[in-house]
Each structure stands twice: as C-alpha cells, then as structure tokens.
Structure 1
C-alpha cells in the first residue's frame, strides 16, 4: 500500500458512494486507475465492504455507551456469541488491561440502555461490567 492508496481509502471512508471520476480528480489519477486500485484493495481484503454511517440527527437522538466487561476464564467465546445476539451492541473488541471485552452500545432511551446492561450483566460468564455513557463526540476522522 502506498500513499495514494491511503489517500484513496481516506476518501472512501469519508464517502464510499463518491463517483470514481470525482475520486480520480481529487487524487490526480485516471478514472480507470482508481477503479483498478479499488478492485485491488478489495481483493487484498484491505476494503472489506461498504456500509452506512448514521447521520448526526440519529446520532444525537441515541443513547450511546461503552461497556467494559470482565469475563470469567474460558467464557470469552460464549460471551461474544451472547453479545452478537443483541442488536443494540454495535461493536465488540477484546482488550488488554483490567477488562477483557469492550462493547459499543446504541439505544433509543436510557431505559432501554438500563435493560440492556441488565441482560449483559446477567450473561453467563460475565463477572462484572463498567459502563460510560457517551456525552458528545469531539472528533471523528471518518467524517468528510
């Protein structure tokens, strides 16, 4: 991957629906070159897919939180499967340090978050949790 690939990836992260002609113009390349680079990045697994990033209107109406989980030994796989079944759990990371798992949660109300945290805390293999509610986003490099 070279600097042009990194610049192309940044443009795609900001707007994956940008026309290849616009990407080519911004990168100073031929459109066919951009198409070939994107295809190569997809084949190599650098670009795993394209998705939807929620807009500020929905973001501001959501209750978002980070939930750190301490998991009992040999229970990690079962806890991860349980988290996968909860649609409010958007992202899950295994981490080093005091906790084993870090989950990003998105709910419509504080009451929904409270019920979700109860379900997570009662999951077989979860020792304890610590949750931080997101108050505001100060930086998002994925935004255009």
Structure 2
C-alpha cells in the first residue's frame, strides 16, 4: 500500500508519538486545523495502518530504576526461528531486531537489578542455537526521540 503523508500528517504523528492520549481538541489547536479534520486524519492513519496501535511508555522513575543493556546474539541459521521463539518468552527482552554485521540479532534487555541481568545472560547462553553473545550495559541515554515528553503549549 502506498501511503501519502503530508506535513500535517507527519506533525500529527509526532504529537501522537509524544502523547497518544492528547485530546483531539488540543491536537487541533497545535496543528491549527479543525477538530473534525484531526479526528478524520487519525481515523485515516489508523485505517491505512500508519498508526498500528497505542501503547504505554514507562515513566522516568521506572526507567531510571531499570538496568538496561544491548545484547548482540549470534545464532545458528537453522535454529533461528526457535531462538526467536525462546527470546519471545522472556519478558526481559524488550525489543529484538535482526541486524547485519557481527551479530544476527540485537536485543534490548530490561532488568530490575544487575543480579537479574546476570541470570538473564546465563539463560540466553543456554538457549539452543545461540552460540555467542556480547552485552553492553546502557549507562545513560543521550538522545531518545521515542520518549519525548510534550512541553507546555
């Protein structure tokens, strides 16, 4: 499907990404268009699959308390499906991407404590088909456009 987005659609999407619960009236005011137009655009974006759903973004207290890490995983090609299914069952695996380069997958891990991360890494090493991991602990975020908090106005 070829989806055409204009500048207003892109601005609307950025506002929704920042706060998907923003009232339509506020969105209309920020976009300087009618409320009914905003509602119609949102409905069209949902219908066309541009907006696939709405979710929860964790707040700063929980974010800061978490121990997060990126983990590069090398997997046997014949066992890739089973590896992904095994990783899918681990709630600490927040995101999994197939990547090019030194690893086959890059997993974003979230644990409550360093000890939990240590146990999780041991678990990952036991998954049949994973033959190498490389983990980098996230110390701080320098840029994160996915979790911008809307400012006043």
- Normalising by the smaller structure, the TM-score range is over 0.9
Matched, 1:58 2:58: no
- Aligned with residue 96 of structure 1, among 91, 100, 120: 100
TM-score by length of 1: 0.98
Q: What residue number does 1:129 align with?
A: 133
**Deviation (angstroms), 1:70:** 0.4
Structure 1 runs (4+) greater than 4 angstroms displaced: none
- Aligned with residue 48 of structure 2, among 37, 44, 48: 44
Report the aligned-residue RMSD.
0.7
TM-score by length of 2: 0.92
Give, in whole Å, the separation in 1 of the partners of 2:80 and 2:40. 40
Structure 2: any 5+ residue segments left out of the alignment?
none
Structure 1: any 5+ residue segments left out of the alignment?
none
Q: Deviations over 1:10-64 (max 9, x none)?
A: 0000000000000000001100110111111111111111111111111110000
Q: What residue number does 1:9 align with?
A: 13
